[in-house]
Amino acid sequence: MEVAENIVLLPCLEELFTRNCDQLRSAPSHFPSLKKLEIDSMGSSMPIANISSNLATLTSLSLKKIKGLDCLQDGMLKNNKNLVYLKIEECPDLSSITSLSLKSVHISDCPKLRCLPDGLQTLVSLEELDIRRCLELIPDMHGLTCLSRLYIEDCPQLSRLPNGLEYCTSLKSVHISNCPKLRSLPDVLQTLVSLTQLYIRRCSSLVLIPDMHGLTSLCELSIYDCPQLSSSPTGLECCTSLQMLKIISCSRITSIPFEQGLPSVRELEITDCRELSSPPSGLEYCTSLQDLTISFCRKLTSTGIHSLPPTLHSLAICYCRSLESIPTLRGCPSLRKLKIGGSDGVISQLVTELEYCTSLHSLSIIGCQNLKHFPDGLQLSSSLEILIIRDCPNLETIPSLENLAHLHLHLHELQMVTCGGLKSLPGGLNSLTSLKKLDIGGFWKELDSVPPFQVLPQLESLSLTGI
């Protein structure tokens, strides 16, 4: 209810939240100190019109699930000179926003909103723009010199990024996701010397990413699920600050060149690049590499290098069915996590080299289609805490765990899953006095015996499935 003009209602109120008030049709119009207004789920836009009619003190405005809200009142945004944060979600009738003067704008799930106001470039203070599930066009951005974060997700009609990106000299983070009509990124992208993060995901029509030789501040680059992209970006060796590079589910890429190496990269992942026939060139010059993953690259026959950097902490090479060998592990004293899958020859190589991995914490042997017998003589580090054997459908025998030196000392987790050929579990389970988690499952044949788990009172988790 409105109050008389000579009465000040809640003169000190700074924050007002209304949630799930679908029947509310009116509200007072005088809140002289209100700074933060959040309205979630309302059956009418009239209360917003009432509350905002005299407001001039807002700094933050959040609107969600407001029926009938087709336009934000011009006065709401213009009169509140200190408004810096705007978030609008799931307002199906919203079709226009008249003007903006903010630092942070978040708009999502407003299907009728097809374009932001043409005066977007006048927002000299805008620092963050987050657009999801709306918009066909983003206007020129050449005046947004303070913009540091640009996030665009699930905009199916967006066919190009806005013009004027080269003037966004403070831009540090760009996320582009699920924009199926986007075919290329603008060449001016390489002029963004302040850019530290670039994420491109699920852009099914993307065919070109420009050269990146100017991105000297770039720290993280992730390219995910872009099936039409035929080549990885060039100029990566000039990204002297690059620490993370991920190229995932880009099925047409045949090569990933960085001939001079990426000496600053710590994490490198190449996954599900089905046409990749040659390994990343220059991999041996990645002298700071700590985490390397190469998986589901079915045409890859070699990793292209003989030895790995001594800085490596985690290595995963699996589900590359044409792979004939892996780099030697003899120079990896700091290796803590190893996930390997492939041919019998790869496993045989492990037998001779695992003893050099004195810091190994986790070992996973997965996706070995032809492996029938676990090789004898396998010596595991006394530091090993996790052992996983998974997706080896023809594996028939695993040596007694008592024969794997020192395994009983620290092993906390043991998984043997989807090994359909096994007739019996390995002996020596009862010797694993430190074991806390045991997962056995996915056996197709009948097991001859199941060990007496009551002699492992320290177990915290036990899973027996599909036996």
Burial class (CB in 10 A: 0-12, 13-18, 19+), 430: middle
pLDDT tens, residue by residue, 201-236: 999 999 989 888 889 999 999 999 999 998 888 888
pLDDT at 123: 67
Report pTM.
Answer: 0.85
- CATH class belonging to 337-467: alpha beta
Q: Which string of b and e fits 8-32 if b means at least 16 CB within 10 Å?
A: eeeeeeeeeebeeeeeeeebebbbe
Q: Which helix (H) or strand (E) element contains residue 128?
A: strand 128-132
pLDDT at 345: 63
pLDDT at 453: 60
Burial class (CB in 10 A: 0-12, 13-18, 19+), 362: middle
Q: Which conformational region is residue 445 in: left (phi greater than 0), alpha (psi within -120 to 50 degrees), or beta?
A: beta
What residues in the chain have per-residue pLDDT under 50? none
pLDDT at 384: 86
Residue 258 main-chain phi, psi, to 5 deg: -150, 75
- The beta strand positions in 212-320, using DSSP E, are 220-224, 244-248, 267-271, 291-295, 314-318
8 Å CB contact between 265 and 290: no
pLDDT at 336: 94
Taking alpha carbons only, the member of 204, 196, 242, 244 closest to residue 224 is: 204
pLDDT at 217: 94
pLDDT at 315: 93
Q: How far apart are the first and last CA of the chain?
A: 67
Segments making up each domain of the chain, as ranges: 1-113, 337-467
- Can you tell me the distance from the alpha carbon of 227 to that of 248, in angstroms, rounded to the nearest whole number? 10
Residue 397 main-chain phi, psi, to 5 deg: -140, 145
pLDDT at 194: 94
* Other Cβ atoms within 10 Å of 117 Cβ, number: 14
pLDDT at 33: 92
DSSP string, 263-293: TT--EEEEE--TT--SPPBTGGG-TT--EEE
Taking alpha carbons only, the member of 133, 149, 132, 95 closest to residue 117 is: 95
pLDDT tens, residue by residue, 337-346: 999 887 666 7
* Other Cβ atoms within 10 Å of 216 Cβ, number: 14
Q: How many helices (H) and strands (E) does the chain have?
A: 4, 22
Q: CA dist 18 to 22, 30, 84, 155, 449, Å?
A: 10, 16, 20, 29, 62
pLDDT at 343: 63
